[in-house]
Structure 1
Amino acid sequence: MESSLNFIAYLIYLPIVIVLTWYVAHTLFKNSKVFMLDIFHGKTDIATATNKLFETGFYLLNLGFAFWVMEISSSIGNQRSLLEVLSAKIGGFCIYLGVMLFFNLYLFFRGRRKARAKSLTLAPVPTIEG
């Protein structure tokens, strides 16, 4: 019975973390197009390509982490233990995803700030002719 509950835990854990990762990535990178266009001064091709590369990296990093921490080291003996183990695993992964979301937002805002600062220093200064 114990090994079957561990297997059931894996069957519950995997779809949840995959869907959570997809949802966060989909929401983040759908909305980050605006930042990328601003960072790359409206150059759609480079903004879209960079956004797609960030999205791919986000999936690889987060799904890799989810699979890496998937192991349940103790035997699950009853349904209560099953729920407790799953809540710890999935809750920990949600916290990790939240940290990664805010880290990506930080990168987007930082890139936007640097792009704006660079465009201000490169902008021609108007001269007043008298």
Structure 2
Amino acid sequence: MDLTVVAYVIYLVISIALTIWVARTLSRNGRIFLADVLHGNEKLADAVNHLLVVGFYLVNLGFVALYLNGDGTVADARGVFEALSTKLGVVLLVLGVMHLANVYVLNRIRRRGAMEREQFPPVPPQGYVAPPAGA
């Protein structure tokens, strides 16, 4: 078997495994943020979480598939490691950027929801207090 094919197979196995691991981690821990943002609506939080995970898979696995194309043939074991380190490094960077983007968007949504909740006083006004005469 050609070493280029071996490098491709190893790249695909590791990239897909990393994508699945990151997606599951984001799904499990991001659900808490979504439940908070959606005011405790668990069913809606689960639905949005599932949609985010599907989008994450589509973007990352699409990138992994597009990046599979190699620069050339791999001649020896050293070439396998060099090709894998470059390809996996780029995939890890893309996964990291996607993760940070997800966290950023969820945090922005969460903060906006918290600001909307703070616009109303915690208790209704109890009465009117007239300002002092000199003010």
Report the TM-score, using the length of structure 1 for normalisation.
Answer: 0.92
SS of residue paired to 1:31: helix
Specify the alignment match of 1:114 in structure 2: 112
Separation in 1, partners of 2:50, 2:121 = 29
Deviates more, 1:93-102 or 1:115-124: 115-124
Give me the whole-angstrom Cα distance separating, in 1, the residues matched to 2:33 and 2:121: 20
Runs (4+) of structure 1 exceeding 3 A deviation are: 122-125
Q: Give the helix-richer structure, 1 or 2.
A: 1
Q: Distance in 2 between matches of 1:84 and 1:125?
A: 64
1:61 alignment counterpart:
59
Unaligned runs of 5+ in 1: none
**What amino acid is the match of 2:75?**
G
Q: What aligned pairs does 1:10-29 form with structure 2 within 5 A after superposition?
A: 10-29=8-27
Query: How big is the alpha-carbon RMSD for the aligned residues of Structure 1 and Structure 2?
Result: 1.5
Task: Find 1:85's aligned residue among 83, 96, 105.
Answer: 83
CA deviations 1:18-68 (Å, max 9, x no partner) are 000000010111001111011100011111100110011001110111111
The code of the aligned residue for 1:23 comes to W
Identity of aligned residues (%): 39
Matches of 1:51 and 1:11 in 2, distance apart? 30
Q: What SS is found at the alignment partner of 2:69?
A: coil
Q: 1:129 to 1:123 in 2, by over 3 A?
A: closer
* Residue segments in structure 2 that go unaligned for 5+ positions in a row: 129-135
Partner deviation per Cα, 1:51-91 (whole Å, 9 max, x = no partner): 11001100111011111111112111111111101100001
Distance in 1 (alpha carbons) for counterparts of 2:122 and 2:90: 50
Partner Cα distance (2:46, 2:65) in 1: 28
- The amino acid that maps onto 2:110 is R
Task: Give the length in aligned residue pairs.
Answer: 128
Name the structure 1 match of 2:93: 95
Partner of 2:46: 48
Q: 1:35 aligns with which of 33, 57, 79?
A: 33
Between structure 1 and structure 2, the one with the greater Rg is 2
